[in-house]
Structures are given as structure tokens and as C-alpha cells.
Amino acid sequence: MKLQAIKTLCVEVGKFAIINTPSGHQWIGNGSAFYPVEGIRLTKESLPALFDLQEKQVREFTLGSYDMDDLTFALEPLAEGRERPLQEEEAFVWSRGELYRVLSGRDGILLINQAYIKPARNKEDRYQFCERDYGVGGSVVAVYGDMLCSALIWPISTKGTEDVMSNLARIAAKPARSIFRAEEKEGVNAESQASMPEEETEA
């Protein structure tokens, strides 16, 4: 469990949330991404010491502990129908100061914050992404670095995704242009070569 990486994400939004499941597993996160707890048992009272929070942060941040179901917060892959593989696209999207990873699913595109991958990062930096059902019509992305889930990340809202993709479509519709026109390239190269200093030769 990468404590410093998790702390950074939680401090950014001012929220530390512990998830407790009926099977006894715990997760820790900021409400938009959660990571399995390993080797220790967390309580709301233990968070300030574990994450070295200042008194002001303890007063201002939301520190909570919540009970959730095992279907959403499962370490093991879920049965077919409850979890579906996602295709990782060879593209990232930068929008409003955040970098998003693009995933394609059965019902369209999902965007997840690339920063939320960091606490789940493995040595090979390779992952498998799956879409899990969440609530009524919702979904969450399960990140697998090996056989067990190493992160649960909520994608940005459907409206947010539509806005980002609409902006990309608008940009893509504009014609691309090169720095130099084709007919100028040869002249520019010749001029560049002509202006280069000649090598000095020994007398």
C-alpha cells in the first residue's frame, strides 16, 4: 500500500474514507478512488497518525468509515455479467488541468483520472481494466495489476465525458497544418546548411 501516493490524492480533495466490507476487507481512498488496505487495520481515529496529518487538516478534512457491499469492493474478479473487460485506448486526454486515460466499454467511452493509477502502480506498469456495475445504472473501473484488484476508480460523469469528447471532436474537425509548407522545406534546409560554420582544419 503506497501511503504517500494515497495521502496526496486524499489531501487534494480533503477527504479520507475507509471502506469496510462484510468479508473483512478494508479499502482507503478519497471518494473517487479506493485502494485495498494491506497488513494493518484502519479506524477513523488511526488516520491522522498513519498519514501524518496536521491538527488543522484533521479539523478541516472529512475522515470517515463506511460499510459497503462485497460485490463492488471485491478483491477477486467478479462473475461474468457483473464485471466486463475494458479496452485501453492508445490515447490520453488532457482536459481542465487533468490527464485522463481513455477506456472503451460495451456502452461507450469511460475516462478515468490518470493520477488515480499511481497508488496501484506495479513494477511492470501494466494493468487490466474491467467495468463493474455500481448502484442503479452506474459503473466503477476495477484495476488489476495481477490476479487481485489493486484499485477501484470511479470514471468522470457521463456529462463530463460527453463534454470532453465533444471538444475533441471539434478540435479534430479542424485541418492540421505543418510548420513549413512543402514547397518551402527544401529552401529552408538549404539555407540552414549554408549558414552552418565550416569546420576548422589544422594547418
Give pLDDT tens digits for 14-49: 999 999 999 999 999 999 999 999 999 999 999 999
pLDDT at 195: 46
Identify the helix (H) or strand (E) that includes residue 162. helix 158-172
Tell me phi and psi for residue 77, to 5 degrees. Answer: -55, 145
Q: Which three cell numbers stand for residue 133?
A: 456495475
Rg of the chain (C-alpha set): 24
**Whole-number percent of the chain with pLDDT over 70:** 82
177 pLDDT exceeds 90? Answer: no
pLDDT tens-digit readout, 105-116: 888 889 999 999
Indicate if the pLDDT at residue 66 is higher than 50.
yes
Q: What DSSP string runs through 119-130?
A: GG--SS---EEE
Mean pLDDT to the nearest integer, 174-186: 61
Give me the pLDDT at residue 13, please: 96
Q: For 70-82, how does the pLDDT look when each residue is reduced to its tens digit (9 = 90+)?
A: 989 999 998 878 8
C-alpha cell at 147: 490476479
User: Do residues 52 and 4 touch, judged by C-beta distance below 8 A?
Assistant: no
pLDDT, greater one: 171 or 25: 25
Q: What pTM, to 2 d.p., does this model score?
A: 0.79
